[in-house]
Amino acid sequence: MSTAKDLFIIAMDPQPDRPVGQGDLSLALAGAELIDLLGAQIVTLDGDSIVPGGQSAPDDRQLEEASQALTRQVPYERVEDWLWRRGRDLASAYQSALEAEGQLARGRSGRSLFGAERVELVDSPARRQALHRWEADEPVLAALAAVVGIESAPSEEEPEFDDEAVTTVLAIVNDAVMELEAVRQRRSIEKAAFANVWRAP
């Protein structure tokens, strides 16, 4: 299982204080993919640019798709641009992939991130692995979950990341989610202002 799949499972399994937004989760999933590609030495970072390295395919269909989507010509893609491009509708893609793998099932008691039709996690090794990482407060998974509003149990120690590239990706994911929230707020204000114009005498 990949960090992105574990993150998706965690986003569905607990009951966070606030619902996880599909756009926020999609950006975080793209960041999780990039972190796994870094860990597999398929890419490196040059500043905030993603430099493709080895051509070995990851043992995961979604990560393989992410690897194939890399920009392999100079100028290489910046992490921020990757998040917005790769992250487009990525949460829905992960839902479909997990359903195809039998990790999700249609049901009445589950809650859907993406509308009225309900899906629920099945009891599987993948779910247990994701929960094990979550309960162990694995730093990368915990950091990505926190970005989308899922808080783990308070820890006395600040998470530390030995890899500077991972730290860079996490920071840029956080900035992208904040930017998305700012766009939402601006649109909400504009919508309210437009409504007030029509209600004005």
Q: Tens of pLDDT along 59-115?
A: 888 999 999 999 999 899 999 999 999 999 999 999 988 888 888 887 655 455 555
Summarize the confidence of residues 27-48 as an average pLDDT: 94
Q: What is the mean pLDDT of residues 125-135?
A: 89
pTM: 0.83
Flag whether pLDDT at 36 surpasses 90.
yes
pLDDT value of position 180: 83
Give mean pLDDT, residues 34-50.
Answer: 94
Res. 151 pLDDT band, cuts 50 70 90 = confident
Structure tokens given for 162: 């030995």
Per-residue pLDDT at 154? 56
- Torsion, Cα of 49, 54, 60, 63 (10° steps): 20
pLDDT value at 15 more than 60: no
Tell me how far apart the 2 most distant CA atoms of the chain are, in Å: 66
pLDDT score at 110 = 47
**pLDDT value for 77:** 96
188, pLDDT greater than 70: no
Taking the CA atoms of residue 107, residue 117, residue 128 and residue 86 in that order, the dihedral angle to the nearest 10 degrees is: 160
pLDDT in the model for residue 105? 81
